[in-house]
Amino acid sequence: MARTAIEFRNVSKQYANTSQYAVAGVNMRISEGSFITILGTSGSGKTTLLKMVNRIYEATSGEILYFGEHIKNLKLEEYRRKIGYVIQQVGLFPHMTVEENIGAIPQILRWDTDTIANRVNALLELVCLSPRDFKKRYPRQLSGGQQQRVGLARAMAADPDIMLMDEPFGAIDAITRQNLQEELIRIQRKLNKTILFVTHDVSEAFKLGDKVVIMHEGTIQQFDTPYGIISKPANEYVARLIATQDIVQRLKVLKAQSVMLPVDAQVSDRAFRVGTEESLHNILTYFLEHDQNHVLVEDGGRGVVGKITWEQLKVSTRQGKILSA
Amino acid sequence: MINESIAYLLLNIDKYYEAVIVHVEISLAAIAVSFMVAVPLGIWCSKNGSVSYSVINAFTILRIIPSLAVLVIAMPILGTGFVPALFALTLLAIPPILINTYSGFRNIDPSVLECAAGMGMNTEKILFGIEIPLAMPLILTGLRTSATEVIASATLASYIGAGGLGDFIFTGIGMNDARILLIGGMSVALLSALTEVSLTAVQHMVTKYQRD
Ligand SMILES: Nc1ncnc2c1ncn2[C@@H]1O[C@H](COP(=O)(O)OP(=O)(O)OP(=O)(O)O)[C@@H](O)[C@H]1O
Ligand SMILES: [Mg+2]
């Protein structure tokens, strides 16, 4: 069992001079190493929820725990250094080079010069920027995408346990955003960071998150895996929100296991076999590319456990749509 | 004419040196004191939105009062000599530095400061490592304006008996002697230009990150 990295206990936030709660009564446990996306429309309280974790905003009531400790009892600066922070506006220090930006916190932590230099190089490589070309540049001399890569590298400089990201790719073009998303997934797998990632883009939330938090008017509507949300939306609001997803996106989230039909006694040997976790999107692609109309679903040790036919694929896609319509 | 001026200068070289030294001294002192007052005050104003308007406005009004008037007003209170002149010049030098410090801090992108805080920098690190360096180009612009004004106005200090290059100018005017007037005027202009050039060079250095 993974430890709980962050726990929200009945957390609410009301800004001064406002009548409504921006976040109301949030309870949630986030396991160490998980990638959590926070999804919701504008004004739903995503940013507020996120920024209470590193105490940019203070909760009005309730408690937030960091590995079991009340964050209010931790020394603010030391605590924040364990939490990487990336925002849409990037916020690089304009008067410092890329190298100095990334090295800022290590410098405060008094790492020696060689260690910092090595760390900077390694981080730049990690975010796919060549240290030789980029180290000495000022933020002004980088494209938006490159700036956000540096922002990501800087946030990871002191090897934080947790990363808070507020719409980091929100201002970046679609293609670059896709690349960055994939790199972030790769980095997360590699370093096993706990990530809280805010977005209002449904497909981004579903693509990145192991689990998705859906927020509306300051409350959590559903906190589940992408599959759990698509197959069983908790309420009308969630259903409407994910209905904006196109079919292809939904097929990417639906797994073979969830729609397969039981197999007859006799199994045709020649049929293509897929794993239980294979996405319907890949199966559809296979059907179209190879002009086939069924595949067998195999579960490692247990052999063939089901099959998916063209008809079944159509039915379940439509069901998915009905479920979320 | 210039030759005659130089001849006069050589004859009165001791007096001239002393005047230059006093002029530079009083200007430097006024600039230093106003810098030490205006920068912290400007920073404080930038962080205390509600009071900042009144402070900034008060100093802007102060700026409209001609420096000679300030000198004349200061005289009955502080008497004559170096100290009242210094006081008047300091008062004169504060507004440009104050206003520019204020705008320098106000112009910093809030997301930069949010990131700095979010990363775990403390207030002191943010002030000295981020805010002051980022506001520095504007602060220096203010300093340049102040310095030029102070050097020119320090001429008037001789009116209240503080000495300086103003002595030459006023003597020149009083005796209707263009030679003397020229020495004083040229020297003040030269000092101003020198200050301008050196401060521009400093400014050039601190804004390196905004170029190439
Ligand atoms: N500093 C603030 N002062 C007062 N009210 C605020 C402040 N910040 C946010 N709010 C209010 O709190 C609510 C939630 O805002 P929040 O920024 O958390 O939403 P969000 O989900 O991040 O929206 P977006 O997708 O537009 O960024 C909104 O109604 C907003 O107006
Ligand atoms: Mg937001």
Q: Going residue by residue through chain B (212 aa), what tens digit of pLDDT does each one get?
A: 778 888 888 888 888 999 999 999 999 999 999 999 999 999 999 998 777 778 888 887 877 777 777 777 777 788 888 888 888 889 889 999 999 999 999 999 999 999 999 999 999 999 999 999 999 999 999 999 999 999 998 988 888 888 889 888 888 888 888 888 888 899 999 999 999 999 999 999 888 888 76
**C-alpha distances in Å from residue A73, one per residue of A134, A137, A272, B43, B135:** 39, 39, 57, 31, 34
- Residue A268 pLDDT: 64
Q: Are strands A194-199 and A162-166 parallel, antiparallel or unpaired?
A: parallel
Instruction: Give distance in angstroms: CA of A15 to centre of ligand 1.
Output: 9
Chain A residue with minimum CA distance to B111: A91
- Average pLDDT on A87-103 reads 95
Cα dihedral A195, A123, A99, A151 in deg (nearest 10): -30
- Residue A318 pLDDT: 67
Q: Are B147 and B203 in contact (CB under 8 A)?
A: no
Q: Hey, what CATH class is B2-210 in? A: mainly alpha
What is the distance of C-alpha A142 from the center of its chain? 25
A61 residue type, one letter: S
Q: Are A80 and A55 in contact (CB under 8 A)?
A: yes
Q: Is A30 helix (H, G, I), strand (E, B) or coil?
A: strand
Between A32 and A269, residue with greater pLDDT: A32
- Residue A267 pLDDT: 66
- Residue A320 pLDDT: 54
- Residue A319 pLDDT: 61
**C-alpha distances in Å from residue A235, one per residue of A47, B23, B165:** 23, 80, 84
The total number of residues shown for chain B amounts to: 212
> A12-37 as b/e, with b when 16 or more CB fall inside 10 Å?
bbbeeeeeebbbbebebebebbbbbb
Tokens of B199: 């401060």
pTM, whole model, 2 decimals?
Answer: 0.84
| Nearest residue to B112 via CA among B98, B138, B133 | B133
Between A321 and B107, residue with greater pLDDT: B107
Residue B212 to residue B208: CA distance in whole angstroms:
8
Question: For residue A322, is pLDDT > 70?
Answer: no
Q: Is B211 helix (H, G, I), strand (E, B) or coil?
A: coil
| Nearest residue to A325 via CA among A228, A200, A238 | A238
- Residue B12 pLDDT: 85
The domain spans of chain B are: 2-210
Instruction: Give distance in angstroms: CA of A185 to centre of ligand 1.
Output: 27
Tokens of A281: 């999107």
Q: Please, which pLDDT band fits residue A324 given cuts at 50, 70 and 90?
A: very low
Question: In this structure, how many other beta carbons lie within 10 angstroms of the beta carbon of residue B167?
Answer: 23
The angle formed by the CA atoms of residues B97, B103 and B108, to the nearest 5 degrees, is 130
Q: Are B157 and B26 in contact (CB under 8 A)?
A: yes
Strand partners, A35: A195
Rounded to the nearest 5 percent, the helix, strand and coil shares of chain B are 90, 0, 10
List, as ranges, residues 152-181 from A with C-beta within 8 Å of B. 154-155, 158, 164
ipTM of the complex: 0.85
Q: Is A279 helix (H, G, I), strand (E, B) or coil?
A: strand
Chain A residue with minimum CA distance to B113: A91
- CB pair distance less than 8 Å for B119 and A140: no
Q: Are B19 and B167 in contact (CB under 8 A)?
A: yes
- Average pLDDT on A238-260 reads 79
φ, ψ of residue B165 to 5 degrees: the values are: -65, -15
For residue A102, which residues of chain B lie inside 8 Å, CB to CB?
A: none
- Residue A325 pLDDT: 34
Question: For residue A84, is pLDDT > 80?
Answer: yes
Instruction: Give distance in angstroms: CA of A43 to centre of ligand 1.
Output: 5
pLDDT tens-digit series, residues A136-158: 999 999 999 999 999 999 999 99
For residue A54, which residues of chain B lie inside 8 Å, CB to CB?
A: 118
**C-alpha distances in Å from residue B153, one per residue of A91, B29, B90:** 43, 13, 11
Q: Are A250 and A287 in contact (CB under 8 A)?
A: no
Strand partners, A197: A37, A165
- Residue B196 pLDDT: 93
Strand partners, A297: A274, A306
CATH of domain A4-82+163-245: 3.40.50.300
Q: Please, which pLDDT band fits residue A269 given cuts at 50, 70 and 90?
A: low
The domain spans of chain A are: 4-82+163-245, 94-159, 249-324
Cα dihedral A111, A114, A115, A117 in deg (nearest 10): 110
Residue A143 CB-density burial (10 A; 0-12 exposed, 13-18 middle, 19+ buried) = exposed
Chain B closest-CA separation from residue A242 CA (Å):
31
Tokens of A69: 């400790």
Decide if domain A249-324 falls under CATH 3.90.1280.20: yes
What is the distance of C-alpha A17 from the center of its chain? 33
- Residue A242 pLDDT: 83
Residue A212 CB-density burial (10 A; 0-12 exposed, 13-18 middle, 19+ buried) = buried
The answer to whether residue A57 neighbours chain B at the CB level (below 8 Å) is no
Tokens of B115: 């990131």
DSSP letter at A74 equals S
Tokens of B132: 């002051």
